[in-house]
A and B are shown apart, each in its own frame.
Chain A
Protein backbone atom coordinates (compact mmCIF):
# COMPACT_ATOMS: atom_id res chain seq x y z
CA UNK A 1 0.00 0.00 0.00
CA UNK A 2 2.83 2.36 0.85
CA UNK A 3 4.16 1.94 -2.69
CA UNK A 4 0.94 3.04 -4.41
CA UNK A 5 0.61 6.05 -2.13
CA UNK A 6 4.20 7.00 -2.94
CA UNK A 7 3.49 6.56 -6.66
CA UNK A 8 0.47 8.85 -6.40
CA UNK A 9 2.47 11.44 -4.48
CA UNK A 10 5.24 11.35 -7.09
CA UNK A 11 2.70 11.66 -9.88
CA UNK A 12 1.53 14.92 -8.29
CA UNK A 13 5.08 16.17 -7.83
CA UNK A 14 6.02 15.32 -11.41
CA UNK A 15 2.76 16.48 -12.97
CA UNK A 16 1.83 13.08 -14.39
CA UNK A 17 -1.71 14.15 -15.21
CA UNK A 18 -2.25 11.29 -17.68
CA UNK A 19 -1.33 8.60 -15.15
CA UNK A 20 -2.94 9.90 -11.97
CA UNK A 21 -6.45 8.54 -12.57
CA UNK A 22 -5.12 5.03 -13.14
CA UNK A 23 -2.94 5.23 -10.05
CA UNK A 24 -5.75 6.46 -7.82
CA UNK A 25 -8.06 3.78 -9.19
CA UNK A 26 -5.42 1.15 -8.41
CA UNK A 27 -5.26 2.40 -4.83
CA UNK A 28 -9.05 2.31 -4.51
CA UNK A 29 -9.23 -1.19 -5.99
CA UNK A 30 -6.53 -2.19 -3.52
CA UNK A 31 -8.85 -1.15 -0.65
CA UNK A 32 -6.73 1.82 0.39
CA UNK A 33 -8.79 4.17 2.54
CA UNK A 34 -9.87 7.21 0.48
CA UNK A 35 -8.84 9.65 3.17
CA UNK A 36 -5.35 8.12 3.20
CA UNK A 37 -5.14 8.55 -0.56
CA UNK A 38 -6.11 12.19 -0.13
CA UNK A 39 -3.99 13.05 2.90
CA UNK A 40 -0.96 10.82 2.56
CA UNK A 41 -0.56 10.99 -1.19
CA UNK A 42 -2.40 13.81 -2.95
CA UNK A 43 -2.00 16.45 -0.26
CA UNK A 44 1.56 15.41 0.54
CA UNK A 45 2.40 15.70 -3.13
CA UNK A 46 1.00 19.23 -3.27
CA UNK A 47 2.95 20.12 -0.13
CA UNK A 48 6.17 19.10 -1.89
CA UNK A 49 5.15 21.23 -4.88
CA UNK A 50 4.34 24.15 -2.63
CA UNK A 51 7.78 24.02 -1.02
CA UNK A 52 9.51 23.78 -4.40
CA UNK A 53 7.54 26.82 -5.62
CA UNK A 54 8.35 28.80 -2.49
CA UNK A 55 12.01 27.85 -2.92
CA UNK A 56 12.11 29.01 -6.54
CA UNK A 57 12.82 25.53 -7.92
CA UNK A 58 9.65 25.48 -9.97
CA UNK A 59 7.33 28.17 -11.22
CA UNK A 60 3.68 28.71 -12.11
CA UNK A 61 3.60 26.39 -15.16
CA UNK A 62 4.71 23.39 -13.11
CA UNK A 63 2.37 24.36 -10.28
CA UNK A 64 -0.56 24.48 -12.68
CA UNK A 65 0.18 21.02 -14.06
CA UNK A 66 0.54 19.54 -10.57
CA UNK A 67 -2.70 21.21 -9.54
CA UNK A 68 -4.40 19.77 -12.64
CA UNK A 69 -3.02 16.35 -11.72
CA UNK A 70 -4.34 16.78 -8.19
CA UNK A 71 -7.79 17.76 -9.44
CA UNK A 72 -7.94 14.73 -11.75
CA UNK A 73 -6.93 12.45 -8.88
CA UNK A 74 -9.51 14.00 -6.56
CA UNK A 75 -12.21 13.63 -9.20
CA UNK A 76 -11.78 9.84 -9.08
CA UNK A 77 -12.21 9.77 -5.31
CA UNK A 78 -14.88 12.38 -4.73
CA UNK A 79 -17.89 10.23 -5.81
CA UNK A 80 -16.80 7.65 -3.23
CA UNK A 81 -16.75 10.10 -0.37
CA UNK A 82 -20.06 10.13 1.46
CA UNK A 83 -21.11 13.18 3.43
CA UNK A 84 -19.33 13.09 6.75
CA UNK A 85 -16.61 10.77 5.47
CA UNK A 86 -14.64 13.53 3.83
CA UNK A 87 -12.41 15.30 6.27
CA UNK A 88 -12.39 18.90 5.18
CA UNK A 89 -9.67 20.85 6.93
CA UNK A 90 -11.89 23.90 7.05
CA UNK A 91 -13.64 26.36 4.76
CA UNK A 92 -11.88 29.24 3.06
CA UNK A 93 -13.63 32.04 1.20
CA UNK A 94 -11.37 33.66 -1.43
CA UNK A 95 -11.72 36.63 -3.70
CA UNK A 96 -9.95 39.45 -5.49
CA UNK A 97 -11.01 42.87 -4.25
CA UNK A 98 -13.08 45.47 -6.07
CA UNK A 99 -11.52 47.12 -9.09
CA UNK A 100 -9.00 44.33 -9.55
CA UNK A 101 -9.44 41.69 -12.27
CA UNK A 102 -6.26 39.73 -11.62
CA UNK A 103 -6.76 36.20 -10.42
CA UNK A 104 -3.91 33.90 -11.36
CA UNK A 105 -2.28 34.19 -7.95
CA UNK A 106 -5.60 33.73 -6.22
CA UNK A 107 -6.38 30.70 -8.36
CA UNK A 108 -3.07 29.15 -7.40
CA UNK A 109 -3.90 29.68 -3.74
CA UNK A 110 -7.33 28.13 -4.31
CA UNK A 111 -5.75 25.09 -5.96
CA UNK A 112 -3.19 24.68 -3.20
CA UNK A 113 -5.83 25.07 -0.48
CA UNK A 114 -8.04 22.46 -2.16
CA UNK A 115 -5.00 20.30 -2.59
CA UNK A 116 -4.39 20.65 1.13
CA UNK A 117 -7.90 19.46 1.93
CA UNK A 118 -9.70 22.74 2.49
CA UNK A 119 -13.11 23.44 1.10
CA UNK A 120 -12.74 26.62 -0.89
CA UNK A 121 -15.41 29.01 -2.13
CA UNK A 122 -13.87 31.20 -4.83
CA UNK A 123 -15.88 34.40 -5.27
CA UNK A 124 -13.90 35.49 -8.32
CA UNK A 125 -12.63 38.98 -9.04
CA UNK A 126 -13.77 42.58 -8.64
CA UNK A 127 -15.66 41.79 -5.43
CA UNK A 128 -16.99 44.70 -3.40
CA UNK A 129 -16.61 44.84 0.36
CA UNK A 130 -20.39 44.39 0.69
CA UNK A 131 -20.35 41.20 -1.36
CA UNK A 132 -17.46 39.79 0.65
CA UNK A 133 -19.21 40.47 3.93
CA UNK A 134 -22.57 39.15 2.70
CA UNK A 135 -20.84 35.94 1.65
CA UNK A 136 -19.03 35.62 4.97
CA UNK A 137 -22.41 35.85 6.73
CA UNK A 138 -23.85 33.23 4.36
CA UNK A 139 -20.99 30.72 4.08
CA UNK A 140 -19.55 31.15 7.58
CA UNK A 141 -15.99 30.30 6.53
CA UNK A 142 -13.12 29.71 8.90
CA UNK A 143 -10.82 31.88 6.82
CA UNK A 144 -11.31 34.77 4.41
CA UNK A 145 -8.57 35.34 1.84
CA UNK A 146 -8.30 38.70 0.06
CA UNK A 147 -6.19 39.17 -3.05
CA UNK A 148 -5.02 42.37 -4.73
CA UNK A 149 -2.46 42.76 -7.49
CA UNK A 150 -2.78 46.52 -7.97
CA UNK A 151 -1.64 49.12 -5.47
CA UNK A 152 -4.77 51.09 -6.36
CA UNK A 153 -6.99 48.33 -5.02
CA UNK A 154 -5.13 47.70 -1.77
CA UNK A 155 -7.40 50.08 0.19
CA UNK A 156 -10.34 47.80 -0.62
CA UNK A 157 -8.90 45.24 1.77
CA UNK A 158 -9.23 47.76 4.60
CA UNK A 159 -12.84 48.40 3.56
CA UNK A 160 -13.67 44.70 3.82
CA UNK A 161 -12.20 44.48 7.31
CA UNK A 162 -13.92 47.67 8.48
CA UNK A 163 -17.27 46.46 7.16
CA UNK A 164 -16.77 43.11 8.87
CA UNK A 165 -16.27 44.98 12.15
CA UNK A 166 -19.35 47.10 11.59
CA UNK A 167 -21.50 44.05 10.99
CA UNK A 168 -20.11 42.23 14.01
CA UNK A 169 -18.52 39.49 11.92
CA UNK A 170 -14.84 40.29 12.40
CA UNK A 171 -14.25 37.96 15.30
CA UNK A 172 -15.86 35.00 13.56
CA UNK A 173 -13.27 34.60 10.81
CA UNK A 174 -9.53 34.84 10.30
CA UNK A 175 -8.48 37.13 7.46
CA UNK A 176 -5.38 36.63 5.34
CA UNK A 177 -4.22 38.85 2.49
CA UNK A 178 -1.93 38.36 -0.45
CA UNK A 179 -0.83 39.84 -3.76
CA UNK A 180 2.16 41.58 -5.26
CA UNK A 181 1.79 45.05 -3.70
CA UNK A 182 0.93 43.99 -0.13
CA UNK A 183 3.19 42.82 2.63
CA UNK A 184 3.16 41.84 6.31
CA UNK A 185 3.39 45.46 7.39
CA UNK A 186 0.31 46.36 5.37
CA UNK A 187 -1.54 43.35 6.77
CA UNK A 188 -0.82 44.53 10.30
CA UNK A 189 -1.78 48.11 9.43
CA UNK A 190 -5.24 47.15 8.20
CA UNK A 191 -5.94 44.65 10.94
CA UNK A 192 -5.68 41.44 8.92
CA UNK A 193 -4.62 38.28 10.74
CA UNK A 194 -1.88 37.35 8.34
CA UNK A 195 -0.11 37.78 5.01
CA UNK A 196 1.00 35.04 2.66
CA UNK A 197 3.68 35.89 0.15
CA UNK A 198 2.85 32.93 -2.04
CA UNK A 199 0.41 30.03 -2.33
CA UNK A 200 2.50 27.80 -0.09
CA UNK A 201 2.53 30.36 2.72
CA UNK A 202 -1.19 30.88 2.31
CA UNK A 203 -1.79 27.19 2.96
CA UNK A 204 0.48 27.22 6.01
CA UNK A 205 -1.37 30.27 7.30
CA UNK A 206 -4.76 28.65 6.79
CA UNK A 207 -3.56 25.53 8.63
CA UNK A 208 -2.26 27.65 11.49
CA UNK A 209 -5.57 29.54 11.75
CA UNK A 210 -7.59 26.31 11.86
CA UNK A 211 -5.38 24.63 14.42
CA UNK A 212 -5.55 27.68 16.69
CA UNK A 213 -9.37 27.69 16.66
Chain B
Protein backbone atom coordinates (compact mmCIF):
# COMPACT_ATOMS: atom_id res chain seq x y z
CA UNK B 1 0.00 0.00 0.00
CA UNK B 2 1.38 3.40 -0.90
CA UNK B 3 1.68 5.51 2.25
CA UNK B 4 -0.31 8.45 0.92
CA UNK B 5 -2.27 10.47 3.47
CA UNK B 6 -5.56 9.18 2.07
CA UNK B 7 -4.49 5.54 2.15
CA UNK B 8 -3.03 5.77 5.63
CA UNK B 9 -6.23 7.30 7.03
CA UNK B 10 -8.74 5.04 5.31
CA UNK B 11 -6.76 1.90 6.03
CA UNK B 12 -6.38 2.86 9.70
CA UNK B 13 -10.11 3.58 9.94
CA UNK B 14 -10.86 -0.04 9.11
CA UNK B 15 -7.79 -1.44 10.90
CA UNK B 16 -6.33 -2.53 7.61
CA UNK B 17 -2.79 -2.59 6.30
CA UNK B 18 -0.32 -0.39 8.09
CA UNK B 19 1.80 1.93 6.03
CA UNK B 20 5.14 3.49 6.93
CA UNK B 21 3.62 5.46 9.81
CA UNK B 22 0.40 6.10 11.68
CA UNK B 23 -1.76 8.88 10.24
CA UNK B 24 -1.92 12.30 11.89
CA UNK B 25 -5.51 13.48 11.62
CA UNK B 26 -7.79 16.33 12.62
CA UNK B 27 -11.35 15.30 13.27
CA UNK B 28 -11.93 18.45 15.31
CA UNK B 29 -10.75 21.95 14.51
CA UNK B 30 -6.98 22.51 14.51
CA UNK B 31 -7.28 26.17 13.60
CA UNK B 32 -5.08 28.45 15.65
CA UNK B 33 -3.89 32.03 15.17
CA UNK B 34 -0.60 30.87 13.67
CA UNK B 35 -2.47 28.84 11.05
CA UNK B 36 -4.82 31.72 10.27
CA UNK B 37 -1.82 34.01 9.73
CA UNK B 38 0.00 31.47 7.59
CA UNK B 39 -3.07 30.80 5.45
CA UNK B 40 -4.16 34.42 5.28
CA UNK B 41 -7.66 33.45 6.39
CA UNK B 42 -9.26 34.33 9.71
CA UNK B 43 -12.39 33.87 11.79
CA UNK B 44 -15.25 34.69 11.47
CA UNK B 45 -14.84 34.69 7.67
CA UNK B 46 -13.87 31.01 7.64
CA UNK B 47 -17.20 30.04 9.23
CA UNK B 48 -19.26 31.88 6.63
CA UNK B 49 -17.45 31.85 3.28
CA UNK B 50 -16.83 28.58 1.42
CA UNK B 51 -13.58 29.69 -0.20
CA UNK B 52 -12.17 30.86 3.14
CA UNK B 53 -13.42 27.71 4.87
CA UNK B 54 -11.77 25.44 2.29
CA UNK B 55 -8.56 27.50 2.22
CA UNK B 56 -8.09 27.23 5.97
CA UNK B 57 -8.85 23.51 5.89
CA UNK B 58 -6.26 22.97 3.15
CA UNK B 59 -3.70 24.82 5.24
CA UNK B 60 -4.04 22.11 7.88
CA UNK B 61 -2.51 19.69 5.38
CA UNK B 62 -0.30 21.91 3.24
CA UNK B 63 1.26 23.94 6.06
CA UNK B 64 1.00 21.76 9.15
CA UNK B 65 1.11 18.37 7.46
CA UNK B 66 -2.01 16.60 8.72
CA UNK B 67 -3.22 13.69 6.60
CA UNK B 68 -6.75 15.07 6.68
CA UNK B 69 -8.55 18.28 5.85
CA UNK B 70 -11.61 19.21 7.91
CA UNK B 71 -13.47 22.40 6.99
CA UNK B 72 -15.84 22.93 9.91
CA UNK B 73 -14.44 24.85 12.87
CA UNK B 74 -17.45 25.53 15.06
CA UNK B 75 -20.37 23.54 16.47
CA UNK B 76 -23.02 26.00 15.34
CA UNK B 77 -23.75 25.38 11.67
CA UNK B 78 -26.95 23.37 12.29
CA UNK B 79 -28.01 25.55 15.22
CA UNK B 80 -27.98 28.61 12.97
CA UNK B 81 -30.03 26.77 10.34
CA UNK B 82 -32.55 25.72 12.98
CA UNK B 83 -33.18 29.28 14.10
CA UNK B 84 -30.61 30.04 16.79
CA UNK B 85 -29.04 33.47 16.77
CA UNK B 86 -25.40 32.61 16.42
CA UNK B 87 -22.66 35.09 17.21
CA UNK B 88 -19.95 33.96 14.78
CA UNK B 89 -17.25 35.31 17.04
CA UNK B 90 -13.95 36.75 16.00
CA UNK B 91 -10.32 35.82 15.47
CA UNK B 92 -10.05 35.30 19.21
CA UNK B 93 -13.41 33.82 20.02
CA UNK B 94 -15.27 30.78 18.74
CA UNK B 95 -18.93 31.17 17.74
CA UNK B 96 -21.60 30.84 20.35
CA UNK B 97 -25.34 30.98 20.64
CA UNK B 98 -27.18 32.38 23.62
CA UNK B 99 -30.72 32.00 22.41
CA UNK B 100 -32.53 28.70 22.85
CA UNK B 101 -35.56 28.58 20.54
CA UNK B 102 -37.06 25.40 22.05
CA UNK B 103 -36.39 25.91 25.75
CA UNK B 104 -40.00 24.90 26.35
CA UNK B 105 -39.46 21.61 24.48
CA UNK B 106 -42.18 22.42 21.99
CA UNK B 107 -42.04 20.54 18.68
CA UNK B 108 -38.89 21.36 16.74
CA UNK B 109 -39.66 22.64 13.27
CA UNK B 110 -36.97 21.53 10.86
CA UNK B 111 -37.07 23.61 7.68
CA UNK B 112 -37.57 21.47 4.58
CA UNK B 113 -34.76 23.31 2.85
CA UNK B 114 -32.37 23.12 5.82
CA UNK B 115 -29.46 21.99 3.67
CA UNK B 116 -29.79 25.22 1.68
CA UNK B 117 -29.51 27.43 4.73
CA UNK B 118 -26.28 29.50 4.45
CA UNK B 119 -24.57 27.93 7.46
CA UNK B 120 -25.12 24.43 6.02
CA UNK B 121 -24.50 25.30 2.38
CA UNK B 122 -21.12 26.83 3.18
CA UNK B 123 -19.86 23.51 4.57
CA UNK B 124 -21.13 21.53 1.59
CA UNK B 125 -19.57 23.98 -0.85
CA UNK B 126 -16.27 23.90 1.03
CA UNK B 127 -16.25 20.08 0.94
CA UNK B 128 -16.83 20.15 -2.82
CA UNK B 129 -13.90 22.54 -3.23
CA UNK B 130 -11.68 20.30 -1.11
CA UNK B 131 -12.71 17.30 -3.20
CA UNK B 132 -11.50 19.08 -6.32
CA UNK B 133 -8.20 20.03 -4.66
CA UNK B 134 -7.17 16.92 -2.77
CA UNK B 135 -9.73 14.21 -3.47
CA UNK B 136 -8.11 10.80 -3.29
CA UNK B 137 -4.81 12.20 -1.99
CA UNK B 138 -5.77 13.50 1.45
CA UNK B 139 -8.71 12.24 3.50
CA UNK B 140 -11.56 14.77 3.58
CA UNK B 141 -13.41 14.86 6.90
CA UNK B 142 -16.86 16.36 7.37
CA UNK B 143 -18.51 17.09 10.69
CA UNK B 144 -22.08 17.15 11.95
CA UNK B 145 -23.62 17.66 15.36
CA UNK B 146 -25.54 14.76 16.85
CA UNK B 147 -29.04 15.11 18.30
CA UNK B 148 -27.80 15.48 21.91
CA UNK B 149 -25.64 18.47 21.03
CA UNK B 150 -28.42 19.91 18.90
CA UNK B 151 -30.75 19.55 21.88
CA UNK B 152 -28.30 21.63 23.95
CA UNK B 153 -28.55 24.31 21.29
CA UNK B 154 -32.31 24.13 21.03
CA UNK B 155 -33.20 23.93 24.73
CA UNK B 156 -30.09 25.09 26.58
CA UNK B 157 -27.52 22.79 28.14
CA UNK B 158 -28.52 23.27 31.76
CA UNK B 159 -32.22 23.05 30.88
CA UNK B 160 -31.75 19.77 29.02
CA UNK B 161 -29.66 18.26 31.79
CA UNK B 162 -32.20 19.32 34.42
CA UNK B 163 -34.93 17.57 32.44
CA UNK B 164 -32.74 14.46 32.36
CA UNK B 165 -32.38 14.69 36.12
CA UNK B 166 -36.15 15.11 36.52
CA UNK B 167 -36.70 11.96 34.51
CA UNK B 168 -38.57 13.69 31.70
CA UNK B 169 -37.66 10.94 29.28
CA UNK B 170 -40.55 11.37 26.84
CA UNK B 171 -39.83 15.05 26.43
CA UNK B 172 -36.15 14.49 25.80
CA UNK B 173 -36.53 11.53 23.47
CA UNK B 174 -39.10 13.47 21.44
CA UNK B 175 -36.62 16.29 20.91
CA UNK B 176 -33.78 13.89 20.10
CA UNK B 177 -35.92 12.12 17.50
CA UNK B 178 -37.06 15.38 15.95
CA UNK B 179 -33.43 16.45 15.58
CA UNK B 180 -32.00 13.10 14.45
CA UNK B 181 -33.04 13.65 10.81
CA UNK B 182 -30.93 16.82 10.72
CA UNK B 183 -27.84 14.87 11.72
CA UNK B 184 -28.57 12.15 9.16
CA UNK B 185 -29.42 14.52 6.30
CA UNK B 186 -26.37 16.73 6.84
CA UNK B 187 -24.03 13.73 7.11
CA UNK B 188 -25.38 12.19 3.91
CA UNK B 189 -25.11 15.54 2.13
CA UNK B 190 -21.49 15.91 3.27
CA UNK B 191 -20.60 12.51 1.81
CA UNK B 192 -22.28 13.50 -1.45
CA UNK B 193 -20.38 16.78 -1.45
CA UNK B 194 -17.04 15.04 -1.10
CA UNK B 195 -16.33 13.92 2.45
CA UNK B 196 -14.55 10.60 2.89
CA UNK B 197 -15.39 10.38 6.60
CA UNK B 198 -17.93 12.26 8.70
CA UNK B 199 -17.41 13.03 12.37
CA UNK B 200 -20.52 13.04 14.52
CA UNK B 201 -19.90 15.27 17.53
CA UNK B 202 -22.47 14.52 20.22
CA UNK B 203 -21.61 16.01 23.57
CA UNK B 204 -22.92 13.49 26.07
CA UNK B 205 -19.70 14.53 27.72
CA UNK B 206 -18.02 12.29 30.26
CA UNK B 207 -17.98 14.97 32.94
CA UNK B 208 -21.60 16.01 32.38
CA UNK B 209 -23.61 12.82 32.06
CA UNK B 210 -23.07 9.22 33.04
CA UNK B 211 -22.71 6.13 30.91
CA UNK B 212 -26.18 5.16 32.11
CA UNK B 213 -27.58 8.38 30.65
CA UNK B 214 -25.89 7.63 27.31
CA UNK B 215 -27.25 4.11 27.33
CA UNK B 216 -30.77 5.17 28.18
CA UNK B 217 -31.17 8.15 25.90
CA UNK B 218 -28.60 8.22 23.17
CA UNK B 219 -27.38 4.71 22.39
CA UNK B 220 -30.59 3.65 20.58
CA UNK B 221 -30.55 6.89 18.61
CA UNK B 222 -26.91 6.46 17.64
CA UNK B 223 -27.59 2.90 16.54
CA UNK B 224 -30.31 4.16 14.22
CA UNK B 225 -28.07 6.90 12.87
CA UNK B 226 -25.15 4.61 12.11
CA UNK B 227 -27.50 2.10 10.46
CA UNK B 228 -28.96 4.83 8.24
CA UNK B 229 -25.71 6.43 7.04
CA UNK B 230 -23.61 4.31 4.73
CA UNK B 231 -20.33 6.20 4.88
CA UNK B 232 -17.70 5.84 7.61
CA UNK B 233 -18.45 7.67 10.85
CA UNK B 234 -16.23 8.76 13.72
CA UNK B 235 -17.87 9.71 17.02
CA UNK B 236 -16.51 12.59 19.06
CA UNK B 237 -17.59 12.85 22.70
CA UNK B 238 -15.54 14.96 25.09
CA UNK B 239 -14.49 14.17 28.61
CA UNK B 240 -13.47 11.02 30.38
CA UNK B 241 -15.57 8.41 28.64
CA UNK B 242 -13.71 5.33 29.82
CA UNK B 243 -16.94 4.02 31.32
CA UNK B 244 -18.77 4.03 28.01
CA UNK B 245 -16.24 3.01 25.38
CA UNK B 246 -17.94 -0.34 24.84
CA UNK B 247 -21.26 1.45 24.36
CA UNK B 248 -19.74 3.62 21.64
CA UNK B 249 -18.59 0.49 19.87
CA UNK B 250 -22.09 -1.00 20.35
CA UNK B 251 -23.52 2.12 18.71
CA UNK B 252 -22.00 1.13 15.40
CA UNK B 253 -19.46 3.91 14.87
CA UNK B 254 -16.37 3.09 12.87
CA UNK B 255 -14.16 5.27 15.02
CA UNK B 256 -14.08 7.18 18.30
CA UNK B 257 -12.08 10.36 18.98
CA UNK B 258 -11.07 10.31 22.64
CA UNK B 259 -9.43 12.58 25.20
CA UNK B 260 -6.16 12.36 27.10
CA UNK B 261 -8.10 11.64 30.29
CA UNK B 262 -8.63 8.14 28.92
CA UNK B 263 -5.36 6.22 28.96
CA UNK B 264 -4.59 5.00 25.43
CA UNK B 265 -3.50 1.57 26.60
CA UNK B 266 -6.73 0.98 28.48
CA UNK B 267 -8.82 2.26 25.57
CA UNK B 268 -7.05 -0.06 23.14
CA UNK B 269 -7.42 -2.98 25.52
CA UNK B 270 -11.13 -2.36 25.98
CA UNK B 271 -12.29 -1.59 22.45
CA UNK B 272 -9.28 -1.50 20.14
CA UNK B 273 -10.41 -4.67 18.43
CA UNK B 274 -13.89 -3.27 17.71
CA UNK B 275 -13.47 0.38 16.78
CA UNK B 276 -10.84 2.66 15.28
CA UNK B 277 -9.35 4.80 18.07
CA UNK B 278 -8.47 8.41 17.20
CA UNK B 279 -6.61 10.65 19.63
CA UNK B 280 -5.65 11.63 22.14
CA UNK B 281 -3.03 14.37 22.55
CA UNK B 282 -3.93 16.68 25.41
CA UNK B 283 -5.01 20.20 24.45
CA UNK B 284 -4.69 22.62 27.40
CA UNK B 285 -1.57 21.30 29.13
CA UNK B 286 0.32 19.84 26.16
CA UNK B 287 -0.62 21.35 22.80
CA UNK B 288 -1.40 24.79 24.22
CA UNK B 289 1.05 25.19 27.09
CA UNK B 290 3.57 22.42 26.49
CA UNK B 291 6.68 22.06 24.39
CA UNK B 292 7.16 20.13 21.14
CA UNK B 293 8.92 17.45 23.19
CA UNK B 294 5.85 17.15 25.47
CA UNK B 295 3.73 16.67 22.34
CA UNK B 296 6.10 14.11 20.91
CA UNK B 297 6.06 12.13 24.14
CA UNK B 298 2.27 11.87 24.13
CA UNK B 299 2.16 10.92 20.46
CA UNK B 300 4.70 8.15 20.92
CA UNK B 301 2.79 6.86 23.95
CA UNK B 302 -0.40 6.67 21.91
CA UNK B 303 1.37 5.00 18.98
CA UNK B 304 2.96 2.43 21.27
CA UNK B 305 -0.43 1.78 22.86
CA UNK B 306 -1.92 0.97 19.49
CA UNK B 307 -4.07 4.05 18.83
CA UNK B 308 -5.01 3.87 15.16
CA UNK B 309 -4.95 7.56 14.22
CA UNK B 310 -3.11 10.26 16.13
CA UNK B 311 -5.06 13.46 16.73
CA UNK B 312 -5.60 16.24 19.23
CA UNK B 313 -8.19 15.24 21.80
CA UNK B 314 -10.62 18.02 20.88
CA UNK B 315 -10.96 21.35 19.06
CA UNK B 316 -7.78 23.35 19.28
CA UNK B 317 -7.33 26.37 21.55
CA UNK B 318 -6.89 29.35 19.25
CA UNK B 319 -3.59 30.38 20.78
CA UNK B 320 -1.98 26.97 20.29
CA UNK B 321 1.52 27.37 18.85
CA UNK B 322 1.72 25.89 15.37
CA UNK B 323 5.10 24.46 16.34
CA UNK B 324 3.26 22.05 18.64
CA UNK B 325 0.86 20.97 15.90
CA UNK B 326 3.83 20.36 13.61
CA UNK B 327 5.48 18.39 16.42
CA UNK B 328 2.42 16.13 16.54
CA UNK B 329 2.74 15.44 12.83
CA UNK B 330 6.51 15.00 13.04
CA UNK B 331 6.16 12.47 15.82
CA UNK B 332 3.92 10.30 13.65
CA UNK B 333 6.55 10.42 10.89
CA UNK B 334 8.88 8.48 13.20
CA UNK B 335 6.80 5.48 12.19
CA UNK B 336 5.59 2.66 14.34
Check if A and B associate. yes
Q: Which residues on A are within 8 Å of B, measured CB to CB?
A: 15, 17, 56, 58-65, 68, 99, 101, 104, 107, 150-152, 154, 180-183, 186
A60 contacts B285, CB within 8 Å?
A: no
Q: Which residues of B contact A (CB under 8 A)?
A: 92-94, 96, 98, 157-158, 161-162, 164-166, 207-210, 213, 243, 283-285, 288-289, 317-320
A61 to B157, CA, bound (A): 10
Interface centre among A56, A61, A63, A104 (most CB of B within 10 A): A61
Smallest CB-CB separation from A98: which chain B residue?
A: B93
Which residues of A sit under 8 angstroms from B157, Cβ to Cβ? Answer: 104
A101 to B89, CA, bound (A): 11
A182 CA to B158 CA in the complex, in Å?
22
Contact of A65 with B165 in the complex, beta carbons under 8 Å: yes
A59-B208, A60-B209 as given contacts; A15 in contact with B165, CB under 8 Å: yes
Given A61-B161, A65-B166, A107-B158, A151–B213 Cβ distance below 8 Å?
A: no
Which residue of the partner chain A has the closest CB to B210? A59
Nearest chain A residue, comparing its CB with the CB of B152:
A104
Q: Which of the residues B213, B285, B318 comes within 8 Å of A59, measured between beta carbons?
A: B213
Which residue in chain A gives the minimum CB-CB distance to B98? Answer: A101
Instruction: For B162, give its contact among A56, A61, A151, A154 (CB under 8 Å).
Output: A61
Contact call A60/B317, Cβ cutoff below 8 A: no
Tell me the complex Cα distance, A17–B168, Å. Answer: 14
Q: Top 4 A-B pairs ranked by shortest CB distance?
A: A61-B165, A151-B317, A181-B284, A65-B165
Closest A residue to B162 by beta carbon equals A64
Residues in A with CB closer than 8 Å to B207 are 59-60, 180
B319 near A151: Cβ-Cβ < 8 Å = yes
Given contact pairs A64-B162, A151-B288, A152-B317, A101 touches B96 in the complex (Cβ within 8 A): yes
- Report if A61-B319 is in contact (Cβ < 8 Å); known contacts: A99-B93, A181-B283, A181-B284: no
Is A180 a contact of B165 with CB atoms below 8 Å? Answer: no
Q: Are B165 and A152 in contact (CB under 8 A)?
A: no
Residues of chain A contacted by B213 (CB below 8 angstroms) = 59, 61
